[in-house]
Amino acid sequence: MTNASALRGFGPAFVLLFGLQFISMGAMEMSGPFWPVQIRALSSSDSVFGFASAGVYVGPMIGMSLTSSFWGHMGDRYGNRLMMVRALSGLAVTQLLVAVAHDVWTIVALRFLQGACAGYIAPAQAYGVQMTGGKARASLFAWLQVATNVGSLGGALLGGLILDRFPFAAVNLTAGVICALCAGVAWLGLPISKCAAIAADPGNAGTAEPIASTGVSIAALLVLIGMLLASRMVLQVPFSLYMTQVFGAGQWAIGLTYGLLACGFVVAAPVWARAFEHRRPSYVLGGCMLISAACALVTHLAGSTGSIVVFAFLYFIWGTLLGGTTPILLALISAGIDNDRQGSVLGLAQASQQGASASGIIAGIGITQLFGLKAAFPLVATLYALSFLSALGFWLKSVRRSQKTGQRW
């Protein structure tokens, strides 16, 4: 089955799910690039600005890391559709509260609360798996991630257009209204999942082999995902400063280059999904091992070049490589668990991802404060090298287990 035909087979529920993810994630990213401007205007000192500008980004990640597993468990118990509506409603309320807040610490606290109330992505993934019976799982996760990336790019653009004409509060008010509308559409438009067991349709189950039987645990895969995400997030804060200092780039060049990463992901993620669909865990781990090595090489070259054109091209290549990491590994985790535990495990995965992302951001800020901006890319390349070594270890373990059981890897 091809990637396109698999998606057509998902039906109208997937189209609505994709649209909700695209619109809601876009709404949440409308304010993303512009928080430092607002925090600077409200800060009484440079130290307050430094802590608050970091907290406004890291706070939601910490909030999600603390609660995503719990919300995932609630999704298994009461329905992932309900958890999606709850998350969108929570985002709407907190966005509206942030819009009327004028104290930096109140904003940081509300952003943390926003993360704690959110947790939309994990139940959306679990709901998709349940509605499709596990069919073309890698493609499902890849396309949902594509919706997130495209929505983020569109949201940032729309946020900039609003800020050109209205005050900052208008961005959050607009995002809150959009999330509220998405919550209503999800409640009224998404069908209640029947939680059809994968075992009832084994031909469409993807990689149905339990992960434990391959010698690779869910915890190991979560560690690998976390390392890959932390590597990616190191540059989240220093990126624009790096381009300004090293290349003397203007704002348009910074925005374009930053967008090329997401563009590469959007182009490549469905292709990677098709390549890894219905493959054994050992094959997937081998692919992630090679992708990690390629990311280490690409980021090393990006940190070494003095040409902004080469740098931008390497950023696009990096994005295409990232399309073969998180969605594929999440699909592998999802394929190894029962349908009635999708919410719990994917919620745990979301929690670990947010914790890893926050760690990467903190590491990026710390390393650049101590050693300067040019230390950022060597750190990223080193972390990817460690990811390669971890993936290599997991792959060898999986291959040995497959050889013992007489399976082809």
Supply the CATH number for residue 367's domain. Answer: 1.20.1250.20
Mean pLDDT over the full length of the chain: 83
Query: Is residue 243 in some structural domain?
Result: yes
User: What pLDDT sits at residue 12?
Assistant: 76
Query: Is residue 391 in some structural domain?
Result: yes
Angle at the Cα of 25 (from 136 to 35), degrees rounded to 5? 145
Query: Is residue 409 in some structural domain?
Result: no
Query: Is residue 132 in some structural domain?
Result: yes
Query: Is residue 346 in some structural domain?
Result: yes
Q: What is the pLDDT of residues 344-383, one digit of tens each?
A: 888 888 888 888 988 998 898 889 888 988 899 999 999 9
DSSP string, 10-32: T-HHHHHHHHHHHHHHHHHTSSG
Q: What is the pLDDT of residues 48-104, one digit of tens each?
A: 887 887 888 888 988 988 888 888 888 888 888 899 999 999 999 999 999 998 889
Residue span of the structural domain in which 13 resides: 3-404
pLDDT-derived band at 205, boundaries 50, 70, 90? very low
Best mean pLDDT range from 213-222, 228-237, 298-307: 298-307
Query: Is residue 192 in some structural domain?
Result: yes
User: What pLDDT sits at residue 151?
Assistant: 85
SS3 for 144-173 is: HHHHHHHHHHHHHHHHHHHHCCCCHHHHHH
Query: Is residue 194 in some structural domain?
Result: yes
DSSP string, 254-303: HHHHHHHHHHHHHHHHHHHHHHHTT--HHHHHHHHHHHHHHHHHHHHHHH
Query: Is residue 78 in some structural domain?
Result: yes
- Structurally, how many domains does the chain consist of? 1
Q: Is the Cα dihedral 250, 251, 257, 258 positive or negative?
A: positive
Q: What is the pLDDT of residues 118-162, one digit of tens each?
A: 878 888 888 888 777 667 777 888 888 888 888 887 887 788 888
User: What pLDDT sits at residue 318?
Assistant: 95
